[in-house]
Amino acid sequence: MSSRDGKPDHGYPPLSAVLPPLILGTATFNSQYVSDPLSMPSAAIVSRCLELGITAFDTSPYYGPSESILGSALSHALSSSPTPIPRSALTLITKCGRIAPTTFDYSPSRIRHSVLRSLRRLNTPYLDLVYAHDVEFVTSADVLAAVRELRRLRDEDHLVRYVGISGFPVARLVELAEMIRRETGEGVDAVLSYGNFTVQNRTLGRAELEGGAGAAAGPRSSSPLRRFKDAGVDVVLNASMLGMGLLTSAGIPPDPETPVVVPTADGEEERASPLAKWHPSPPALRLACRELAALAADEGERLESVAIRWALAEWARIGALAGLGVKGPGAEVAVGATVMGVTSVGELEETAREWEGVLGSLALQGRDAEADEADSARQNKIIELVEKKMWPALGKGWLDYSWASPGDDFVNQLAEADRGVVPDDDGIMAGYAQAKATAEQYRKTGLA
């Protein structure tokens, strides 16, 4: 059966009607961001999320132990909650296809194995949304095969409810979204873009920022968001508001041997930066972003707060303007959805406070007029600081700069003989039939 817009009627409402606007991303539950992810306060972060009403979580098997850490933290939070939280109240999002930094396998058998493994790690009967991960590293045919298998897992096995693609180059994401719609007649439910709607890099929504409402309705070539909409994409999410660590007070040193200064309970201390070893930004961009930290400090602000507030608020506005936002149950209007990454409860609470301020500045908080006016005043201050000081400081060289992904020297290290070969010693595939039966039971009976 098909719906009126030509999409298959899989029995689920549009993703935009159920996805929360603020999502905890757990790429930070990984040694790329912290020296020892197993010792970070993941359980406290997840518990505090639920207390704050943040019920959506994004992870990936590529993020090292992230899926397992998140699954354990969720189990702890749910078991210790004073009030029962049903599975239907959570949104669990993961990815598939990227195995290692230079190894990708988008074959249907590996996609299927990845989904089943994620179900086990997250201790869930189904996944709300699964992305094909970092799609720019593989061929269009690979992406199409992965999306088809994810949709089969949705339609036949009911292990997945929504399907999307994620990656860095906006132009490539647009091309692939259009290709998927053209080849299958169905647009993807979601596109996850990271690092391309920040204080430093506005590529994802630059046409709308510069042209206002007219850009969203203008020529297709003028706006990636317009093209996503034309390609049948339901939701576009913005991730990595801090540019994977670029837009922080500590910043990323231009070389791995230089330490960063971080605040501690006793003051400050120097530490090695895990980001400096792998972050794809050139040294000159890292130095340019340090200048932004100084400009924020001159205004009595932290660069993190400025970058988070600007990206949250502007994406809430522009994502909705482009018709690619979310309007979950009880929401009055649509807003653009954001994935936030944190490494501490303090960072989580800071982002949540900025989000509350965004809602207030948009008059969506239902508070008194004085509070909304204060939020609007701060929002205007942030926009003025970014537009009049930070963007000119970045100049034409670094404003909207995106590094190449993949680089010219990238070669997929997956051996052809290993393509589609799944492990036979982890018991994952042996549980396939039971996983399908459990997911079907949840779908039919609406189990919590």
Between β-strands 235-239 and 337-341, what pairing exists: parallel, antiparallel or unpaired? parallel
- Catalogue the E-assigned strands of 189-315: 190-194, 235-239, 260-264, 267-271
Which among 301, 400, 399 is positioned nearest to 357, based on CA atoms? 301
* 156: DSSP letter: I
pLDDT confidence of residue 4: 38
Question: Residue 401 has which token pair?
Answer: 């700069």
On whether the pTM is more than 0.75, the answer is yes
CB atoms within 10 A of CB 249: 19
pLDDT confidence of residue 294: 96
Tell me which amino acid residue 213 is.
A
Which among 258, 243, 231 is positioned nearest to 203, based on CA atoms? 243
Instruction: State which H helix or E strand residue 337 sits in.
Output: strand 337-341
Question: Residue 389 has which token pair?
Answer: 């000081």
**∠ CA 333-335-340, rounded to 5°:** 145
Which among 94, 182, 100, 179 is positioned nearest to 141, based on CA atoms? 179
Tell me which amino acid residue 274 is.
P
Question: Euclidean distance between the first and final Cα of the chain, in Å?
Answer: 26
Domains and CATH numbers, the chain: 17-250+310-362+400-441 (3.20.20.100)
| Residue 324 burial (10 A CB sphere; 0-12, 13-18, 19+) | buried
List beta partners, residue 267: 264
DSSP letter for each residue of 96-146: ESEEETTEE---HHHHHHHHHHHHHHHT-S-EEEEEEP-GGGS-HHHHHHH
SS3 sequence of 338-405? EEEECCCHHHHHHHHHHHHHHHHHCCCCCCCHHHHHHHHHHHHHHHHHHHHHHHHHHHHHHCCCCCCC
CB atoms within 10 A of CB 25: 25
Question: Residue 29 has which token pair?
Answer: 């539950």
Question: Which whole-number Å values give the CA distances from 17 to 53, 120, 332, 360, in the listed order?
Answer: 17, 27, 12, 22
Question: Which whole-number Å values give the CA distances from 312 to 118, 329, 363, 390, 436, in the listed order?
Answer: 29, 20, 15, 17, 38
Instruction: State which H helix or E strand residue 160 sits in.
Output: strand 160-167
pLDDT confidence of residue 73: 96
pLDDT confidence of residue 156: 97
Tell me which amino acid residue 135 is.
V
Q: Are the C-beta atoms of 134 and 142 separated by less than 8 Å?
A: no
Radius of gyration of the chain (CA): 21
In the chain (448 residues long), the average pLDDT of successive 10-residue segments reads 51 94 95 86 96 97 97 94 91 98 98 98 98 98 98 98 98 98 98 98 96 56 91 98 95 89 74 89 96 97 97 97 88 91 95 93 65 84 97 97 96 97 92 95 76
HSE value, Cβ hemisphere, 13 Å, CA-based, for 141: 0
Tell me which amino acid residue 439 is.
A
- Indicate the SS3 state at residue 440: helix
